[in-house]
Amino acid sequence: MGERGLNRDIPGGLQIAPSILAADYARLGAEVAEAEDAGAEWFQIDVMDGHFVPNLTIGLPVLESLRAVTDTFLDVHLMIDNPGAFLEPFAEAGADLITVHQEASTHLHGDLHRIRAAGCYAGVALNPATPAETLSEVLGYVDLVLVMTVNPGFGGQKFIREAVPKIAAIRRLAADRGIAPPSIQVDGGIDPASAPVCAAAGATSFVAGSSVFRWAPGIAANMAALRAALDGHA
């Protein structure tokens, strides 16, 4: 497989990032390939521990398996307690970007530096009730901010519209500090109705699980519907 992490660029433009949380794991490789054929350049891998969020999902073996069959940008979202214990292993398994939660990282500044030292881009996620201002002291070390538009833990939840102003707040915070804004990603309830709302506020990466992998009429048509909804916001 090709170069990863800081050896490649974060995909530009408005990116639909299918979340494999919603995929059929019996057909994971085939569904990822189908999404790639439909234009996906970015996938998100949701890692949950049953403690920080009330659900258990996948770990290192699934990431390793995906990296073996795709060159696509792989974004690991660690929804776990003590994320610092797993940064290097996920980097070694093939992550391009690793996102930790502000609420779970005891030493966020250090974790961000470790992620980059391991060869990955560094992301920070904010739960719906966490203000953008909590990133004030680390924003210069962040490549991506993930604005959660649901409470993390399960797919298929209703979009929390009240989280949208946080997107503009992050951009203002960067401007106030005289730095370039990070990429801004949204995750939770993202579909053809909610994605344009987030794009208008300044989001550039749209994590979509159920609306890509589970809705009829299928992956290709679902990707096309999301792309059509985002047209005009680039």
* Whether 75 is catalytic: no
The answer to whether residues 126 and 102 touch, using CB atoms and an 8 Å cutoff, is yes
**Cβ of 157: how many Cβ atoms within 10 Å?**
15
* Whether 46 is catalytic: yes
Among residues 42, 88, 70, 72, the alpha carbon closest in space to that of 183 is found at: 42
Q: Which runs of E-coded beta strand occur in 49-195?
A: 73-79, 97-101, 121-126, 144-148, 183-187
Active-site entry in 49, 75, 96, 187: 187
Alpha carbon distance 14, 143 (integer Å): 16
Active-site entry in 24, 46, 71, 176: 46
Q: Which residues are catalytic?
A: 46, 187
